[in-house]
Amino acid sequence: MGYADDASYEAYDDYDGGDDPRFERRRRKKRHPLRSFVAVIGVLALLGVVAIGGYAFYLQRTVSQNVEHQDLLAKENAVITISPNLTGGNQPGTEDGDPSDEGAGAPDEEAGDTSDKAADPSTGEDGEDEGVAPLVGEDGEELDYQGGEITATTPERDPRAGDALNFLIIGSDSRDLSVERGRSDVIILMHISGDRERVDLIHFPRDLFVPIAGTGGSSKINAAYSYGGAPLLVQTLQPLVNVPIDHVVITNFESFKAMTDAIGGVTVQVTEAGGGFSTGAHHMNGEQGLRFVRERYSLSQGDISRGERQMQFIKGIMNKALSVDTLTNPARVANFVDAATSNLTVDRDLQVSDMRDLGFSMRNVRGGDIHFWQGPWCGISNHPVAGSIVVMAGSQMGVLSEHLRTDSMSSYVDNVSPRSGFGGC
């Protein structure tokens, strides 16, 4: 057999060369491009994993650095102090605040905040709010309440609820919870279904007239927050819905504005004109959105209508945050996460890892899976002691409670709460 150099091996593609070392070199040379390609793909895949992991680490570090933890959820049998004192010393988990700090908790006048005023539902005229709503005794007279204590209790969890979770979301007007807790302008119970495929948001009007836990009297529901912070609000709300509240989240309006701007603004479908907004679709930035959700005096149902606006805006934020444009834009996601957590305070049991795992388990939730409700009510009236109040619909509250307890909100119906006007109980 004659000799052939390496250049002539093209003619022997089907011949493996036996033990000839020259053919072994050729076999190695022919396999090399494939090995190189596989190596490149492997490196790219590794870089992708590192990038994703690094991005996830960045987001988790951002959340960890931003989120504050406080004693917002009292354990079973824990003692809660109740006091009319509104300074930071009455905020669980903090030192006494300085009452002379005039800037703490002040309303944002530039944002159009009129929440200091109480409106007459029959005339729509604004009045002056003298402070926390008074406590009313069973005889209808004002209680001379000087403070006290209550032992925390928790409703038994119904086995039918499975892995469903209940979050109390509080929107406070305080700029610094360590100085002053402020007022709970927004009270929302978020129910997350056990299969993590549905979210129900129940808005409780801040003027809803209810028994305030541990005081022996009744008042507007946001008075519970003023008298005893988030723990007392939890103890006041839990008997109404008869479900355990698993976690508490407090945010403020600065975070609200920042979240909106971080995702490039949101489009909101305005269903009732008022406060400078006509009906129809409006694209709003954070400042405009804040004015939109705080307005109530020009709306047909006052605080009820404001709750509707808040829900409309929340839906706009969720739809934008879950959109393809946002989820495929790492910078936008990072900015949104940073903004959403910069002014966020949660209970001590809600760890960042829990938030991450819950978010991942709800990754398939979209706007159509989020449902909004008003806390059941039957009328708005002027109480001789408490002022303008929203009257609770007790029977319908029981219906809501049953659906929350059994994680069956998909079949919940509220035909009691008025859709227009001030109702009548």
Q: What is the pLDDT of residues 283-333, one digit of tens each?
A: 999 999 999 998 988 998 888 999 899 888 888 888 888 788 887 888 888
Q: Which of 83-87, 174-178, 273-277 has the lowest mean pLDDT?
A: 174-178
Is 385 part of any domain? Answer: yes
Domain residues for 153? 67-411
Is 119 part of any domain? Answer: yes
Write the single-letter amino acid at 62. Answer: T
Q: Is the pLDDT of residue 400 over 90?
A: yes
Give me the mean pLDDT over the 26-45 stretch. 52
Give me the mean pLDDT over the 341-362 stretch. 87
Query: Which pTM value belongs to this model?
Result: 0.76
What is the average pLDDT value for the chain, to the nearest integer?
79
Q: Which residue has the higher pLDDT, 315 or 406?
A: 406
Q: Which residue has the higher pLDDT, 93 or 377?
A: 377
pLDDT reported for residue 414: 97
Q: Is the pLDDT of residue 12 over 90?
A: no
Is 28 part of any domain? Answer: no
Q: Which of 2-6, 211-215, 401-405 has the lowest mean pLDDT?
A: 2-6
Q: Which of 127-131, 232-236, 377-381 has the lowest mean pLDDT?
A: 127-131
Q: Is the pLDDT of residue 198 over 60?
A: yes
Q: Is the pLDDT of residue 99 over 60?
A: no
Q: Which of 7-21, 310-324, 395-409 has the lowest mean pLDDT?
A: 7-21
Give me the mean pLDDT over the 340-364 stretch. 87
Give me the mean pLDDT over the 140-161 stretch. 95
Percent residues over pLDDT 90 in the chain: 48
Give me the mean pLDDT over the 38-62 stretch. 60
In the structure, what pLDDT confidence band is assigned to residue 368 with cuts at 50, 70 and 90?
confident
Give me the mean pLDDT over the 73-80 stretch. 94
Q: Which residue has the higher pLDDT, 87 or 424?
A: 424
pLDDT reported for residue 318: 82
pLDDT reported for residue 121: 37
Q: Which of 32-41, 96-105, 148-157 has the lowest mean pLDDT?
A: 96-105
Q: Is the pLDDT of residue 105 over 50?
A: no
In the structure, what pLDDT confidence band is assigned to residue 10 with cuts at 50, 70 and 90?
very low
- Which stretch, 10-19, 187-196, 256-265, 343-352, has highest mean pLDDT? 187-196
Q: Which residue has the higher pLDDT, 4 or 355?
A: 355
- When divided into structural domains, the chain yields a total of 1
Is 382 part of any domain? Answer: yes
Is 38 part of any domain? Answer: no
pLDDT reported for residue 87: 45
Is 54 part of any domain? Answer: no
Q: Give per-residue pLDDT as tens, 210-250.
A: 999 999 999 999 999 999 999 999 999 999 999 999 999 99
- Return d(Cα 82, Cα 150) in angstroms, integer: 7
Q: What is the CATH number of the domain that holds 265?
A: 3.40.630.190
Q: Is the pLDDT of residue 83 over 60?
A: yes
